[in-house]
Structure 1
Amino acid sequence: MPLRLPIIALATALTLSAGSGETMKPVKPLAYGALGANFNQNLDALDYRELRESGARWVRGFFPMPATDQGDPAAHFAIKTITEAAGRGHDTILSLKFPYDRASFPQPGSPEMAAELARLDRVLPAVLGKVDILTIGNEPFIESLPAERDTRLNVFYETVARHVIDVRRARCGGDCATTLYMGALNRLDLADRRTPAAERWMTFVRETPELAGVDIHPHVPEPENTQAFLDYILPRMRPDQTYLVTEFSLVWHWKKHLRDPIAPAFAQRYGFAAGTQVWQVIKAAIDAPFPQRQWNDFLTSSPWFMDQAGFLRDQMRLYRGTGRLAVATYAFKQDDLMTTDFGPAKDPWLLNSVYVPYTVRPRGNGLSAPSLWLKDFKALQKS
């Protein structure tokens, strides 16, 4: 059974007295247990008014490393936005994304690896000491060639991680304000994803003292599947390590229901033909965004959605109950990639979002409409 520690005690910064009578700087808490806003690649969609409305202090997004070749990384919207948010008092997480799903991992000592490390040398000065958490990797077991999800993946990410650690030590010293995690593991609820490479990943995390822990992305078909992620990572970490959950959702549950017929009462009220399927209503909302009430009525009339209406509360209770959660961040805002070519085979990420600018008409002053998730998201800021 995983160690269970009191969240409130861990979330309180401790002040220790040195032997000389001097007051040392506050010790960073082991586990924050926070819930924040995840923007993935869409940090340019951040609206501080929506963050204030939701109560979110933590902001997370990722930076695609190939973008370094296009100019100064500090000027890229992802890094510019995340560091601006940090400057405005928000706690921040930036994941470094290495997309190798269409090319082989470079080998240590090769010109290709030298080029990748040179990219890091341009990115790291822009974020070290500014963002609170830097995650090395986004979804390595997805952003790689299937045939290379073995030791080749491990060697690449271990090489990158050691370079980040060395640069961080040189630039920040031992008390750098930026904490390092390795990320992120997917679908650990499936036995075939708990591979030798995943095991080596966790061994590296555990045996590398500069790493605070690991990131996981429990996108699951049923809420109970998340427990498998925790059962896997917690025994494989040091007692002083924590974990991130920078993405989590029921996207695979939603997808199973895209071809379900909609509720007859909803169809009659809003003029849809009998037998209209869920995906067709979502597509109609994308093509011509609904009034807020119509979108809410669509979801509240859908048993597949309402049966899981407590998902956010229940998942945060699970994560916080371990005493080892640093930060979880939840999908904050729909984006255009979620809506492009929407059909019954599309992954319905847009149903996760706290704000729904692509399926519901905007409110006044340019604010996006909130989804049904906002109430629980706000309440969980106070837990």
Structure 2
Amino acid sequence: MSAAVEAVLRGGVATGVGSWPGTDPREAAATVVGELPGLAHLVELPERGVGADLLGRGCALLVDLPFDTTPRGYRFAARPGGVARHARDLLRADLDALEEAWERAGSPGIGRPVKLQVAGPLTLAAEVELVNGHRVLTDPGARRDLAESLAEGLARHAAEVAKRLNAPVVLQLDEPSAAAVLEGSLPGTSMLDSVRPLPEPEALDLLDTVIRAQSAPVIVHSCAAPPLALFRRSAAAALALDVAVLRTADLDGIGETLDAGKLLVLGLVPSTAPAGEPGWRELAARGVRLVDRLGFPRRTLAERVLVSPACGLAGATPEWARRALDLTADIARAYTEEPETLEAE
């Protein structure tokens, strides 16, 4: 990892995944900026409806690819529809709220990064339809156009945010559909129409088309069981994973990720309130067990690991969302200050 990336993206930091409960962007921004001083993020508020969710925000950043919706979801269109205008209006409102919260926090400014999230090219290609109703993923030219459009739009978005906040930017590509894209498990337009699996080299090319176009470090994230080999081979600086979905078979891939010089963002805090609320030490133990089993020193937790909730918090109550950030911050602090004293069980 280059010195320039290390200056912006570092271990021992608490951050969020993306989504947040409620519909008030100012309240959400103020909470996240206040609770996550090391790496706050631009929240998504999907409760506001169409255009405010992960796919709507991703489509809003596309350049020269107009879109609208159908009863089945988002679809490319001959000209921008009302949904496209609404999605971009929501994004502008969220940016205004983040800028206000940033300034109220005392102009953290230089040296304090901010994270932006967007659906990655594989997930957008899997979930957005062409005009004819087929998934973008089924058309090689269309998926290439989508990746290039997203790369350009995301670079513009990052530049605008960096200028408005006078802060370095970290980018996160959310790829919850990546595994389904590789496995060929996405349904087609009918029972007789299947979507073929995308070969890993082609998937990697789409992912890296977006990543390599960015001047900011990029995290690749999935709340679902991740295709670790694909993510590890990408140009991303870090991988963000829900620890609860990792299997024993994934351990070698996690170790290879660290050996490759990439950082990990470990999702350790439940994204909705559990039946019995765990303490931060119990949750921190999951990360400790992981590095111990991999044979890495405990200082890896401070140097190479960031901490986050397991997934977005849109499905949580406002009370648990705030509590989740508190727990996340407590774990990151412990990894930095006292990793050797933490229990692994």
Give the TM-score of the pair, scaled to structure 1. Answer: 0.47
Pairwise CA distance, 1:135:
3.3
CA contact (8 A) 2:122 2:207 kept: no
Paired amino acid for 1:86: L
Pick from 244, 250, 257: which aligns with 1:319?
Answer: 257
Aligned pairs (5 A) from 1:288-307: none
CA contact (8 A) 1:105 1:153 kept: no
Pick from 118, 121, 124: which aligns with 1:137?
Answer: 118
Unaligned ranges ≥5, structure 1: 12-26, 35-55, 235-241, 254-307, 338-356
Pick from 241, 245, 257: which aligns with 2:239?
Answer: 245
Kindly tell me: are residues 170 and 105 of structure 1, through their superposed partners in 2, closer, same or farther at Cα, counting changes over 3 Å?
A: farther
Q: Hey, what's the Cα distance between the residues in 1 that align with 2:283 and 2:216? A: 36
Kindly tell me: are residues 115 and 219 of structure 1, through their superposed partners in 2, closer, same or farther at Cα, counting changes over 3 Å?
A: closer
Kindly tell me: are residues 112 and 211 of structure 1, through their superposed partners in 2, closer, same or farther at Cα, counting changes over 3 Å?
A: farther
Structure 1 counterpart SS, 2:34: helix
CA contact (8 A) 1:133 1:178 kept: yes
Which digits, 9 at most, give the CA deviation of each residue in 1:116-156, with x for residues without a partner?
Answer: 22211111233366773423314664462471345375477
Aligned pairs (5 A) from 1:157-306: 157-158=150-151, 160-165=153-158, 167-168=160-161, 170-172=163-165, 176-184=167-175, 186-187=178-179, 190=183, 192=198, 194=200, 199-208=205-214, 210-217=215-222, 219-220=224-225, 226-231=228-233, 233-234=234-235, 242-249=236-243, 251=245, 253=247
Kindly tell me: are residues 177 and 125 of structure 1, through their superposed partners in 2, closer, same or farther at Cα, counting changes over 3 Å?
A: farther
Say which one has the larger Rg.
Answer: 1
**Between Structure 1 and Structure 2, which shows a larger proportion of helix residues?**
2
Q: Hey, what's the Cα distance between the residues in 2 that align with 1:362 and 1:169? A: 37
Count of matched residue positions in the alignment of Structure 1 and Structure 2 = 236
* 1:239 counterpart residue number: none
Q: Hey, what's the Cα distance between the residues in 1 that align with 2:246 and 2:170? A: 31
Structure 2 counterpart SS, 1:136: strand
Structure 2 counterpart SS, 1:121: helix
Kindly tell me: are residues 330 and 214 of structure 1, through their superposed partners in 2, closer, same or farther at Cα, counting changes over 3 Å?
A: closer
* 2:91 counterpart residue number: 120
Paired amino acid for 1:165: A
Pairwise CA distance, 1:333:
2.4
Kindly tell me: are residues 328 and 105 of structure 1, through their superposed partners in 2, closer, same or farther at Cα, counting changes over 3 Å?
A: farther
Q: Hey, what's the Cα distance between the residues in 2 that align with 1:193 and 1:93? A: 32
Structure 1 counterpart SS, 2:269: coil
Q: Percent identity?
A: 10
Kindly tell me: are residues 61 and 250 of structure 1, through their superposed partners in 2, closer, same or farther at Cα, counting changes over 3 Å?
A: closer
User: 1:86 aligned to 2:36?
Assistant: yes
Pick from 257, 264, 270: which aligns with 1:328?
Answer: 264
Pairwise CA distance, 1:332:
1.8
Aligned pairs (5 A) from 1:18-167: 29=6, 32=9, 34=11, 57-63=13-19, 70-71=23-24, 73-76=25-28, 79-87=29-37, 90-93=38-41, 98-99=54-55, 102-105=72-75, 107=77, 109-127=80-98, 132-138=113-119, 141-142=122-123, 144-145=127-128, 147-149=135-137, 150-151=142-143, 153-154=146-147, 157-158=150-151, 160-165=153-158, 167=160
Kindly tell me: are residues 333 and 161 of structure 1, through their superposed partners in 2, closer, same or farther at Cα, counting changes over 3 Å?
A: same
Paired amino acid for 2:288: K
* 2:324 counterpart residue number: none
Pairwise CA distance, 1:212:
2.8
Q: Hey, what's the Cα distance between the residues in 1 that align with 2:198 and 2:204? A: 10
Pairwise CA distance, 1:315:
5.1
Structure 1 counterpart SS, 2:241: coil
Paired amino acid for 2:89: A
Pick from 285, 289, 300: which aligns with 1:376?
Answer: 289
* 1:270 counterpart residue number: none
